[in-house]
Amino acid sequence: MKRSEFKSYDELPLFLNAKIVAQVLGISAAGAYELLHQEGFPVIKIGSRLVVPKEKFLSWVESQIGGVVR
């Protein structure tokens, strides 16, 4: 797995695609696509693209670990 180019959550773009979600979570691209299709994951469909708003992604991560991510 390729190392993330992001050093902090502040460096993330406003909208994350599957590749960025995979990098941040340290999972495969296939795993990220699977996650983007899970019910309850904060994804927005724009045409054929699936994107995740940065703030909703951070909130989702916080809910999964039961803490604050920053």
Q: How do residues 5-63 score in pLDDT, each as one tens digit?
A: 788 889 999 999 999 999 999 999 999 999 999 999 999 999 999 999 999 999 999 99
pLDDT of residue 67: 67
pLDDT of residue 9: 86
Answer yes or no: is 70 within a domain: no
pLDDT of residue 69: 64
Q: Could you tell me if 57 and 21 are in contact, meaning their C-beta atoms sit under 8 angstroms apart?
A: yes
- State which amino acid sits at residue 15: F
Residue 16, CA distances (Å) to 6, 22 in order: 12, 10
pTM to 2 decimals? Answer: 0.84
- State which amino acid sits at residue 4: S
Answer yes or no: is 41 within a domain: yes
Q: Which domain holds residue 30?
A: 12-65
Full strand arrangement of the beta sheet holding 49-53: 15-16, 49-53, 44-46
The number of distinct structural domains making up the chain is 1
